[in-house]
Amino acid sequence: MERMSFDLAQTPLRELNAFLHREASAGRVKQVVVTHPDGAHNIAVGLDCPVEVEIVGHAGYYAGGMNKLASITVTGSAGTGVAENMMSGRVHVKGFASNGAGASMHGGLLVIDGDAGLRCGISLKGGDIVVGGSVGSFSAFMAQAGRMVICGDAGDALGDSLYEAVLYVKGRIKSLGADARIEAMTEADHATVKALLDAAGMAHDPRDFKRVASARNLYHWNADADQEY
């Protein structure tokens, strides 16, 4: 069985997810097409096999969450928490991604062609996020590892309490969060941005991006800082 289709207007979501965890995990199918998702939540969550899943339409909350190895494409927009806690593989949203996209990701690649809402990449622990548009406020809050490429603008408090993650922003940054700072781009940074843009299928000049990283003042508690960093 090479390809399987599920119409969620006719088939319960539970049946689709059960199939993905049984038949796809056993290697009996390589591609699954999901039609009429109509914003259903928890589509293709927790996959642990190299299957391709195409969601034709808009997905609800947590699409592709906890993904491992699978390649998941949403041809519309995605609700809160798309690719949340992804370990590996790829999730591609061709529209808009709502709040918390890529939250707590450990690995893999999340591509968002449009804009992303608040807290994109919150608590990022690894992996890469490429956003073709802009991101909302508090994106990359407490991001510990990994990389984000933002081709549009960034909202308030970008990178607040940032650790070792590195952010690359092409557009305007409304404000930086606590302990985040703009640093000079190096040739290694240009190469990194180019590689990530290529992987996401986006064409931008890496030299147009700014690097945002941690100033590392929050690594050690300072009682005299009076909560100002």
Residue 195 lies in a domain: yes
Residue 3 lies in a domain: no
Residue 80 lies in a domain: yes
Is the confidence at residue 229, as pLDDT, over 60?
no
Residue 219 lies in a domain: yes
Residue 4 lies in a domain: no
Total structural domains within the chain: 1
pLDDT number for residue 15: 96
Which 8-state DSSP code applies to residue 194? H
pLDDT number for residue 5: 96
Residue 194 lies in a domain: yes
Residue 203 lies in a domain: yes
- The CATH number of whichever domain residue 195 belongs to comes to 2.160.20.60
pLDDT number for residue 63: 98
* Structural domain that includes position 114: 36-225
Average pLDDT taken over every residue of the chain = 95
DSSP H/E element including 53: strand 52-56
pLDDT number for residue 47: 96
Residue 140 lies in a domain: yes
Mean pLDDT of 155-181: 97
pTM metric for this prediction: 0.95
Bin 157: left if φ > 0, else alpha if -120 < ψ < 50, else beta: left
